[in-house]
Amino acid sequence: MNFEQELLMKTEEVEEIIERFLPKEEGFQKTIFSALNYSVKAGGKRLRPLLVLETFRLFDGHGKVIEPFVAAVEFIHTSSLIHDDLPCMDNDTLRRGKETTWHKYGEDMGVLAGDALMMYAMETAAQAFSYNANPKNVGAAMHVLARKTGIYGMIGGQTVDVEETGKALDPEKLRFVYELKTCALLEASMMCGALLADASHEDVLNIETIARKVGMAFQIRDDILDVTSTTEELGKNAHSDEKNNQTTHVTLYGLEEAEKKVQELTEEAADLMQSLTGENRFLKELILSLIRRNK
């Protein structure tokens, strides 16, 4: 089986897991359930849930305890996209080739859907305590997930990003935004997989570093694609960074240097992967394919 076939098979696997944890669209508040499900089902690469599952397997994790975290990480990521698209943020009307949540359901429901999905993610992750697993590992994974999502992670990075919109960022502040806004949830994804597989403390720390390098490369690649791709290719509005006067790695250093930085980070992450006690060929190929993507 080649990588593309394996990726399709494994993506279908995480799609099925995510689907099982989605709420039923019933009751007086069914509009919010509909908005949640619409947002999650809009598609995407499912990168983060794949990283959760494959890092779990990297360290010989077994059982279904990982499944609530597979779904929870995607819920958190989707929540952040719902909020990113709002008129008060990026004011985008297209996401993953479809109408954005706020544009379809209204701005008020867009806000509520993003909030609800964030909370539902933690509720979903907590279901792991009911599985036959070490509660200490589940608790540690929940702590990582919450911290990397919140004010010391993704939301903290988004805060600085919003405050500095339209301003010229210096390299140090841009790196801070990237590490928190983009890298933190990738770190959480891989660290949760490692923790729930009972990986060693050293391996968990190495996984965090690998995920940070992958996240930086992923974000810089995103910057490059925003300049070089079309809206049809991206499935979202192209040139949105320019429209919002956003400082990016490309605007600071140019396309050529951005490409070099992606390559440098990729090689560093690949070298660190060799130091881990586990082995997962597919995970390595997945990381490389995402960094080298063209959409």
Q: Cβ contacts of residue 21 below 8 Å, gap of 6+?
A: 67, 68, 71, 72, 75, 124, 127
Non-local (6+) Cβ contacts of 147 within 8 A are 153, 188
pTM of the model: 0.91
Give the separation between CA 12 and CA 242, rounded to whole angstroms. 35
Report the 10 Å Cβ neighbour count for 8: 11
Tell me the pLDDT of the chain averaged across its residues: 92
- Percent with pLDDT over 90 in the chain: 78
pLDDT tens per residue across span 224-233: 998 886 555 4
Spatial CB neighbours of 236, under 8 Å, sequence gap ≥ 6? 92, 94, 95, 96, 97
CATH assignment of 3-291, among 3.10.129.10, 3.40.30.160, 1.10.600.10, 3.30.1490.20: 1.10.600.10
Cα 189 to the chain's mean position, in Å? 8
Tell which phi-psi region holds residue 63, choosing left (phi > 0), alpha (psi between -120 and 50) or beta.
left
Q: What is the pLDDT of residue 127?
A: 97
Q: What is the mean pLDDT of residues 86-98?
A: 90
Which of the 8 DSSP states describes residue 170? -
Average the pLDDT over 151-162 and give the result. 95
Domain regions of the chain by residue span: 3-291
Q: How many residues are given for the chain?
A: 295
Residue 238's CB: how many other CB atoms inside 10 A? 19
pLDDT digits (tens, 9 = 90+) for 202-251: 999 999 999 999 999 999 999 999 888 655 544 545 545 555 568 899 99
